[in-house]
Structure formats: C-alpha cells, structure tokens
With several copies, the nearest count.
Chain A
Amino acid sequence: MDLYEYQGKELSRRYGIPVSEGRLATTPDEARAAAEELGGQVVVKAQVLTGGRGKAGGIKLAEGPDDARAKAEQILGLDIRGHVVRKLWIERASEIAKEYYLSITFDRGAKKPLLMLTTQGGIDIEEVAEKSPEALARLHVDPLEGFQPYQARRLIYGAGIDDPNEQKQVLALVGKLYEAFVGCDAMLCEVNPLIVTPQGEVKALDSKFSVDDNALYKHPEIAEMRDLDAAPAEERAAREKGVTYVKLDGEVGILGNGAGLVMSTLDVIALAGGRPANFCDLGGGGDAQGVVDALEVIGADPQVRSIFFNIFGGITRCDEVARGILQALDRMTIEHPIVVRLDGTNAEEGREILAEASPPNLHAEPTMLEAAGRAVEFAR
C-alpha cells in the first residue's frame, strides 16, 4: 500500500525524522487558511500516488495566503499520469542548498533491506545508478543484525558527504528511517530530496512510504490511511468484493484462478492476436458469488467484447466453478460471448454441468490455446 507524501511525513515525524510543518487542504479556501496559519512562503504540493509531480505542474511556491489559494486552484483537479489531484499538502517553504537522496528498499534478490544514499538527489535515482554508479552508495542490512551506525557511516563516506555537521545529522536520520522501515513494515521508505538548508540543517523534503499489505493488521493506524478513492473505480469495486482486478486496454475480458495462470492467459490471448481487457484472479475460490462478483466487474468495462473464463482446478473444483457460472448467468445478464475452459480437479463433471445447461452465449473449449483463439475471434 503506497502512502501519500503527507502520510509518509506524518510517519516520519513519529520516528523523529525532521520534516517541514504543513497542513492538508482539499479546497482553495483550505489552502489559503493553511498558508495563513503557517505564515510566510509556502509550497503547495499535489498529493498523488505517482511521481513526476513537479514536471506536471503539481508543486508550486506561493508567496502568501492569497497566492496559495490561487496556486491550489490551479493544481486541484490536475491529471498527473492518470491520477486526479484531490488533496494538497501546504507546507512551509524551505531554502535548499543541497539535494541528497536516501532510501531503504526491500531487496528481494539479496533478501535483505538495501540502503541507498547519494548527494545527487532530486532527480531520477535510476539515472544516477546508471550514469554515475560510483555516486550512489549502497549497503545491505542483515535482518538479524539490524541497523548499526557503521552502516550509515559507510553510506555517508561512500556518498562523499564530508561536512561533519551534515554527517552527524544524516547518521541519525538513516537510523530513524530504518526504525520507521521496520516499525511500519514498509517495503520502501524513500526521501528524495533529502535537503541541506543554507543554515546546514538536514531535512526530508519529500517522503515516499510503501507498506506491506500483509502487515497492515499490525498497524491499524496505517491501514486507515488507505485512500479508497485513489484507485480506479472498477479496481475499487473489485477490491471490495475480494477480487484481484487490474484494468488493461484490450477487448477480451479475462477471468482465471491463480495469478500465474491468469498472466499466462493474458499472454496466450496476445499470441492468438487479441488484446486482454483486464487481469482478474478469482484466487482459490470460484464459488457462485465470486464468479458473479468478477463477472460484474469485467462486464462493467465498456471495451470488453468477449470473456475468457480459464480455470485449472487444483483446490478449486471445476464442478463448483461450473455451477458458479450458471448461477451467475441466472442472476445477471451478460451480453458478451463467454468462452470457458475447464481442466484439472473434477473437470469432467464441470464440463457436463455446463453442457447440460448450455446457456446460449457460453462456449466450452477443451484446451487453453483453443479457448483463447475462440475468445479472440468473438472479440473481433
């Protein structure tokens, strides 16, 4: 679960990481009031769960309350990489002498947290990693050892931070960020830029936190931060129904059980010359309600022209899925042709159930490849 900048800063503050004071605003008037409270110059920052806000015009300096109101009006409603700005973070403006970059990520390959620090902050970290890898200090933390101050020192010397006053502040900050990383069950804690003010103060000017969904039960206060309105409407609907759904651009609606099989189904549709309309995983279930829920979500996509129902029974039993499909078709009207492929546990029984009922727009195929071809044909 990704957090907004203002939420990440709230967590940062809890762990003692220095951030600027700010206020949340959802209207120009609130932005004005926030600027008034904060006093002086403020920065009006779009809160969206994507990068590139600055270039998209989502971050603006305001001279005072009225200016903040004006800037808020410009930013609210902006579409930044498909994310519409509905919230603003108004914060006291900082003078910036230097921009660094600091992050802790989950390195799945090494199976260890990875610390990264560079003095070339503010820009794309992949670019730094590629163009001047020696400028990016990297160090893994052994999870049993935990954070030790020497790790921060190695980063600091490695990145070439040589002012003792900065060193001291960054040393403390790395330790606190690691505490936050572990304490919040984060998969990513990124500070970009980590700034040094002309007065030599080190501060987190941005904050990107991503928290492990599986650990949210331990952190109800973070779980509550989830912005249900941030996801596209159809994905939201799917989530509410416990279905994993990702909207794509094509015409063949896809439904399967298991993420790997569904991904493979997408590929096979493409091989057959079609374009998948979505990724939709029923998971281990496949009962009538699950099928209804999934079909509702897929059917609501106006681009969909056919539906491919690809089930390989393991725990999921094909006869149950077949019954689920029939019940779903009873309860709702699906205009599109549905191609069904059933294999694995109780596949025979499942196919018989479907053959017996033989609903008009339902087409059974024996193999995944053949079924994919048929679904693509229907979508043409």
Chain B
Amino acid sequence: MAIIVDNETRLVVQGLTGSEGSFHGTRNKRYGTNVVAGVTPGKGGQDVDGIPVFDTVADAVAETHANTSMIFVPARFAADAIYEAVDAGIRTVICIAEGLPAHEMLRIYAYIRPKGVTMLGPNCPGALSPGKANVGIIPAEIFSPGSIGLVSRSGTLTYQIGHELTQLGLGNSTIVGIGGDPIVGSSFVDVLEKFEADDETEYVVMVGEIGGEEEEKAARFIEAHMTKPVVAYIAGFTAPPGKTMGHAGAIISGSSGTAEAKKRALEACGVRVGTSPTEVARLAADVAGAHA
C-alpha cells in the first residue's frame, strides 16, 4: 500500500515544460512513477519525453484521469496552480515550489482541508514510496523498499537519515517531506495517522526541527493513537534563540519550540529521540530488531 504516492498514483506535473519541472518530472517517470500528463498554459498539445502537455489541469484530468499533482511553477503562480489542481478534482497535491506568501497558504489550507485533499508542501521535497512511485526531488537511489515510514520537515536531512538507515539494511515504506514553511498542507500528525493506517509500515522515524509546536502535537498523537513504534530526531539543539536558520519554520519564540523542549515532549510520550542522524538510525534498527 504505502502512503500518499504508490502504484495508483497518476501524476500530472504543473510546470512540466520548465527546466526544473521537466528535469524532475522525467526523472520521476524513469523511476517508474506513472506520470500521465503535464500542464503549461499555452503549451497544450506538446509533449515532454512522451508525456502529453495540456493547457489546463481540467483538460489533463479529463484526458488522463490524473489524481495527483506535482507543482513546479514559480512562487507567484503557485497558489493559482494549487487552486486549479484542487478544483479540477486532484486529490493529492505535492507542491515542490517554494516562496509562497504565508497568507496565501493560510487561505489555501482553510480551503482544501474540508475537501479532504492531501497536500504536501509548499517548499517540500515530495514523497517517495520505494519501488512504487517517486513524486518530487527525493534522490530515490538512497532508499530501498522496507517497512519504515519516514517523515520530515527537512530535505537533505531526510536524505542523510535515509542513507544511514539504508546502510544499516533498513528500508522504507514511504518517505514524506512535509516542508519547512510556516503553513504546510500536512502536519506530522496528518502523516503519522496515514502511517498508522498503512499495512506496509511497521515503524516510523520522525525528523523534526526547532520552531513551532508540530513535534509536540505529534508526541501527544503518538501516545494517544499510535500502536506502531516511533523514533525521532530533532535538529537544532545548538541553534541560538531568536535567530532565523533558513527555514521559516525554524524560528524560536520564547522557550517553547526549542529542540530540548521537543525532545522532552517526545520522550514523555514514549518516543526515543536520537541526538544525531547516525544515532536515530541505530535506534530505528534497534526497534526493528526487537520487533523482527
């Protein structure tokens, strides 16, 4: 089964004819993802590496029954692209594009949530279900199929941890990058809920970072609702208070949202927390070994 992307995924790439869109779109296709369409206004009728391009998402959905969209358009067109996808009936939106104004994302979140649309991002690396589908920019060669669900706010940190897992012989059901912006379409809790329900996932590794309170919420959710073991990693123990560290998500306000506070919250809910990517991978191996 896996979550978010799998063999049932029929992908439309919004912005397929752009340089990044075509690079990653065709890369996803070569991986085996069922990339059925691209959308670029004014370029309907063309194709990119055999993938037909349409003027509108509605046309793409009508012709190809696309059910998932990957968004690779410039920031100022991204909100429009997300609305277009959702209104055309797309059920899963993966927004790689970054730089969306937070107020726009606020409205998008409020708009799509009651519709039951699954969204990752903006500013996220996408989702990869090894052996099934890769939607986004995650380097698939680092990962192998397996039973660990991996969810993270960060891109390269995810790859680092995935790499360490692979080296210990552990594979993944799905790797999910939720994105580091202040408002993203899916929270840790949203993804943990899906992992809990997924029959291919047996354990979960959660990769958080300083700022916000999503890790704390995840801790409470894990304690209350999860039967599958979760181990966690939090980045930013040495980040000084009040400094912005690149991710808009990683702003510390007051004492809440620190790595230490998050670690304590998770441990209080029975989640083991590693202090380095290497350690969290070993914890995951422990858990997997204990349950094997």
Interface residues of A in 256-272 (CB under 8 A from B): 256-264, 266-271
Contact: B75 with A214, CB < 8 Å? yes
* B125, B213, B276 — most chain A CB neighbours (10 Å): B276
Contact: B276 with A369, CB < 8 Å? yes
Contact: A312 with B106, CB < 8 Å? no
Task: State which of A19-27, A93-101, A144-152, A290-298 sits at the interface with chain B.
Answer: A144-152
Contact: A314 with B137, CB < 8 Å? yes
Contact: B111 with A144, CB < 8 Å? yes
| Minimum CB distance partner of B137 in chain A | A315
Contact: B214 with A109, CB < 8 Å? yes
Shortest beta-carbon distance from A269 to chain B in Å: 7
| Minimum CB distance partner of B123 in chain A | A214
Q: A13 in the interface, Cβ–Cβ < 8 Å? A: no
Bound together, the chains give a CA A210 to CA B69 distance in angstroms of 33
Bound together, the chains give a CA A129 to CA B77 distance in angstroms of 32
Contact: A267 with B247, CB < 8 Å? no
Q: B6 in the interface, Cβ–Cβ < 8 Å? A: no
Shortest beta-carbon distance from A314 to chain B in Å: 5
Bitwise interface map of B from 235 to 248 toward A, beta carbon under 8 Å scored 1, else 0 = 11111100111111
Shortest beta-carbon distance from A370 to chain B in Å: 10
| With known contacts A150-B80, A312-B156, A344-B139, A259–B247 Cβ distance under 8 A | yes
Bound together, the chains give a CA A145 to CA B237 distance in angstroms of 38
Contact: B276 with A260, CB < 8 Å? no
Residues of B within 8 A of A126 (CB): 254
Bitwise interface map of A from 103 to 128 toward B, beta carbon under 8 Å scored 1, else 0 = 00010110111000000000000100
Query: How many A residues touch B, CB cutoff 8 Å?
Result: 60
Q: A182 in the interface, Cβ–Cβ < 8 Å? A: yes
Residues of B within 8 A of A345 (CB): 139, 141
Residues of A within 8 A of B278 (CB): 367-369
Residues of B within 8 A of A134 (CB): none
Query: How many B residues touch A, CB cutoff 8 Å?
Result: 75
Q: A6 in the interface, Cβ–Cβ < 8 Å? A: no
Residues of A within 8 A of B107 (CB): 143-145
Q: A227 in the interface, Cβ–Cβ < 8 Å? A: no
| Minimum CB distance partner of A110 in chain B | B213
Contact: B76 with A217, CB < 8 Å? yes
Interface residues of A in 174-188 (CB under 8 A from B): 182, 185, 187
Bound together, the chains give a CA A17 to CA B210 distance in angstroms of 35
Contact: B102 with A185, CB < 8 Å? yes
Shortest beta-carbon distance from A2 to chain B in Å: 10
* B104, B106, B180 — most chain A CB neighbours (10 Å): B106
Contact: A279 with B245, CB < 8 Å? yes
| With known contacts A260-B209, A264-B277, A214–B247 Cβ distance under 8 A | no
Q: B221 in the interface, Cβ–Cβ < 8 Å? A: no
Question: Out of B41, B58, B109, which one reaches A111, CB within 8 Å?
Answer: B109
Contact: B155 with A112, CB < 8 Å? no
Task: State which of B81-89, B195-203, B224-232 sits at the interface with chain A.
Answer: B81-89
Contact: A261 with B275, CB < 8 Å? no
Question: Out of B137, B163, B247, which one reaches A312, CB within 8 Å?
Answer: B163
Bound together, the chains give a CA A256 to CA B59 distance in angstroms of 42
Residues of A within 8 A of B153 (CB): 260
Q: A241 in the interface, Cβ–Cβ < 8 Å? A: no
Q: A276 in the interface, Cβ–Cβ < 8 Å? A: yes
Bound together, the chains give a CA A274 to CA B87 distance in angstroms of 52
Number of A-B contacts (CB under 8 A): 197
| Minimum CB distance partner of B54 in chain A | A157
Residues of A within 8 A of B56 (CB): 150, 153-154, 157
| With known contacts A314-B159, A344-B159, A264–B182 Cβ distance under 8 A | no
Shortest beta-carbon distance from B45 to chain A in Å: 11
| Minimum CB distance partner of B247 in chain A | A259
Q: A70 in the interface, Cβ–Cβ < 8 Å? A: no
Contact: B101 with A261, CB < 8 Å? no
Q: A218 in the interface, Cβ–Cβ < 8 Å? A: yes
| With known contacts A248-B240, A269-B238, A314-B156, A142–B110 Cβ distance under 8 A | yes
Contact: A260 with B139, CB < 8 Å? no
Shortest beta-carbon distance from A344 to chain B in Å: 6
| Minimum CB distance partner of B249 in chain A | A108
Bound together, the chains give a CA A112 to CA B183 distance in angstroms of 9
Residues of A within 8 A of B259 (CB): 267
Contact: B157 with A260, CB < 8 Å? yes
Interface residues of B in 92-149 (CB under 8 A from A): 99-104, 106-107, 109-111, 125, 137-139, 141-142
Residues of B within 8 A of A279 (CB): 239, 243, 245-246
Shortest beta-carbon distance from A379 to chain B in Å: 15
Contact: A145 with B83, CB < 8 Å? yes
Question: Out of B79, B183, B238, B248, which one reaches A148, CB within 8 Å?
Answer: B79
Residues of A within 8 A of B152 (CB): 260
| Minimum CB distance partner of B211 in chain A | A108
Residues of A within 8 A of B248 (CB): 213-214
Contact: A148 with B83, CB < 8 Å? yes
Contact: B137 with A259, CB < 8 Å? no
Q: A157-B56, A164-B42, A315-B137 are in contact. List 20 more A-B contacts (CB 8 A).
A: A106-B106, A109-B213, A144-B110, A144-B111, A145-B107, A149-B80, A153-B55, A215-B104, A260-B157, A260-B158, A261-B157, A261-B160, A263-B209, A263-B245, A264-B236, A271-B275, A344-B139, A344-B142, A345-B139, A369-B276
Ordered by A's residue number, 23 sampled pairs between the chains whose C-beta atoms are within 8 Å are: A108-B249, A126-B254, A150-B56, A150-B83, A157-B41, A214-B102, A215-B104, A217-B76, A246-B243, A259-B246, A260-B152, A261-B154, A263-B209, A263-B236, A264-B235, A264-B277, A270-B237, A281-B246, A314-B137, A315-B139, A343-B163, A345-B139, A368-B276
List A residues at the B interface (Cβ < 8 Å): 106, 108-109, 111-113, 126, 142-145, 148-150, 153-154, 157, 164, 167, 182, 185, 187, 212-215, 217-218, 244, 246, 248, 256-264, 266-271, 276, 279, 281, 312-316, 343-345, 367-369
Closest 6 CB pairs of A and B: A260-B154, A258-B156, A259-B246, A260-B157, A215-B101, A150-B84
